[in-house]
Amino acid sequence: MAQRIAILAQDLIWSDRLARAVEAAGAEPARAKTAPEFDRSLVCADLAIIDMTASAYDPLTAIERARSAGARVIAVGQHDDHALRKRALARGAERVYAYRKLFEDGPATIAAWIGRSAGEARG
């Protein structure tokens, strides 16, 4: 059974791009664009990806909610917003990737993360 990954992204283009990268990595995306939708998608997800550039939700609070639900989290955001990236890591994101990284290498990056997640779950 494919790993289910909750994706919180307000931007339709990035929501689609992240979902396609998750599928290409062999997992099942569960898309959300608001905090309540994200909370529902976390019910059956062990992993979450959060887009940090949004006005419809607080990405830092979303990271905390995902971690509280037991999900491992990566975030994606602007490469030059170092303060937000540091706060995301402090709130529980394992990594914060720049948009460019996931645009250019999304499926491989996500597949490696899924592999690390599976290895840590077994170990």
pLDDT at 116: 76
What string of pLDDT tens digits covers the 123 residues of the chain? 679 999 999 999 999 999 999 999 999 999 999 999 999 999 989 999 999 999 999 999 999 999 999 999 999 999 888 999 999 999 999 999 999 999 999 999 999 998 876 555 434
CATH number, position 63: 3.40.50.2300
Q: What domain range is 93 assigned to?
A: 4-122
Tokens 């998750």 map to which residue? 22
Our count of domains for the chain comes to 1
- 31 sits in which H/E element: strand 28-32
Q: How many Å apart are CA 98 and CA 81, to the nearest integer?
A: 9
- What pTM does this model have? 0.92
